[in-house]
């Protein structure tokens, strides 16, 4: 009986290994995307600052954002554009929406405060999300 215990333990461990490995390889739903992110683009590096106050800035633009499960919604004008996102460590991958190809961004630091002179745009109603979102 004592000889079977190591075999049973090994068998149990091996049967669980694929599930554990698969769970570790899946991107987890993002918890906190606030920070300063950099994307390498054909035009050169671009930075996006995502703040906990639901504002995000890139260049001269400041927009609102919402996060639901693995989807990020950005408010452009009076409607939301939805993207699928995955965060692994310091890398954020965003796809869908108006992007032709997935874009990878790297977290390069914490978010910077939004200057008081830059208002957070009003959020469009959530019913203005794209169909199927």
What pLDDT digit, counting tens, does each position of 4-22 carry? 444 443 444 444 444 444 4
Residue 77, Ramachandran bin (φ over 0: left; ψ between -120 and 50: alpha; else beta): left
Task: Provide the token pair at 27.
Answer: 């991107």
Confirm if 35 and 50 have CB atoms less than 8 A apart.
Answer: yes
**CA pair distance 35, 47, nearest whole angstrom:** 10
Terminal Cα distance for the chain, rounded: 56
Does residue 121 lie within any of the structural domains?
no
pLDDT in tens, 67-111: 988 899 998 888 889 999 999 999 999 999 999 999 999 999 999
Confirm if 33 and 91 have CB atoms less than 8 A apart.
Answer: no
- pLDDT at site 108: 98
Out of 16-25, 51-60, 119-128, which region has the weakest mean confidence (pLDDT)? 16-25
What global pTM score does this model have?
A: 0.69
Give the CATH number, domain containing residue 86. 2.40.128
- pLDDT at site 126: 65
Does residue 76 lie within any of the structural domains?
yes
- pLDDT at site 76: 84
Does residue 82 lie within any of the structural domains?
yes
Task: Provide the token pair at 84.
Answer: 């699928």
């Amino acid at each position: 009986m004592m000889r079977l215990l190591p075999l049973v333990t090994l068998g149990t461990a091996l049967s669980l290994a694929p599930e554990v490995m698969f769970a570790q390889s899946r991107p987890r739903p993002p918890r906190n995307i606030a920070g300063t992110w950099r994307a390498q683009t054909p035009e050169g590096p671009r930075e996006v600052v995502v703040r906990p106050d639901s504002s995000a800035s890139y260049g001269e633009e400041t927009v609102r954002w919402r996060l639901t499960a693995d989807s990020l919604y950005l408010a452009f004008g009076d409607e939301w554009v939805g993207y699928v996102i995955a965060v692994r460590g310091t890398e954020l991958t965003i796809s869908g929406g108006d992007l032709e190809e997935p874009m990878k961004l790297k977290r390069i630091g914490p978010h910077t405060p939004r200057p008081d002179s830059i208002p957070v745009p009003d959020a469009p109603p959530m019913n203005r999300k794209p169909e199927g979102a």
